Amino acid sequence: MDLNLKGKAVFVAASSKGLGKASALELAKEGANVMLSGRDEEELKLAKAVLEQAAAGKVEYVLCDITKPEQLKAAIQTTVRQFGTIDILVNNAGGPPAGTFEKFTDEDWVKAFELTLLSYIRLIREALPYMKEQRSGKIINLTSSSIKQPIPGLLLSNTFRLGVLGMAKTLSMELAPYNILVHTVAPGRIATDRVKSLDEIKAQQAGVPVEQVEADSKKTIPLGRYGNPEEFGKVVAFLASDAASYMTGSAVLVDGGMIKSL
Q: Which long-range contacts (CB under 8 A, 24 or more apart) does 129-133 make?
A: 130/80, 130/85, 130/86, 131/86, 131/87, 131/89, 131/175, 131/178, 131/180, 132/175, 132/178, 132/180
- 196/111 same-domain check: no
Summarize the confidence of residues 71-96 as an average pLDDT: 97
pLDDT at 259: 97
Summarize the confidence of residues 23-27 as an average pLDDT: 98
Summarize the confidence of residues 35-50 as an average pLDDT: 97
What CATH number corresponds to the domain at position 113?
Answer: 3.40.50.720
- 209/98 same-domain check: no
Give the pLDDT band (50/70/90) at residue 84: very high
- pTM for the model stands at 0.96
In a domain, 258, yes or no: no
- 183/198 same-domain check: no
pLDDT at 2: 86
- 118/211 same-domain check: no
In a domain, 143, yes or no: yes
Interatomic CA distance for residues 133 and 175, integer angstroms:
12
- 38/109 same-domain check: yes
- 35/57 same-domain check: yes
pLDDT at 39: 97
Give the pLDDT band (50/70/90) at residue 171: very high
- 134/33 same-domain check: yes
DSSP 10-79: EEESS-SSHHHHHHHHHHHHTT-EEEEEES-HHHHHHHHHHHHHH-SS-EEEEE--TT-HHHHHHHHHHH
Compute φ and ψ for 246, nearest 5 degrees: -115, 30
Q: Tell me the per-residue pLDDT of 133-155, one tens digit each, with 9 for 90 and over.
A: 999 999 999 999 999 999 999 99
- Asked if residues 57 and 35 have their Cβ atoms less than 8 Å apart, the reply is no
Q: Tell me the per-residue pLDDT of 184-242, one tens digit each, with 9 for 90 and over.
A: 999 999 999 889 988 998 899 999 999 999 999 999 999 999 999 999 999 999 999 99
Closest CA to 13 of 82, 108, 86, 85: 86
pLDDT at 232: 98
Domain that holds residue 63: 9-188+228-253
Which amino acid does the sequence have at 106? D
Does position 92 have pLDDT exceeding 90, yes or no?
Answer: yes
* Number of domains comprising the chain: 2
For 84, left (φ over 0), alpha (ψ -120 to 50), or beta?
left
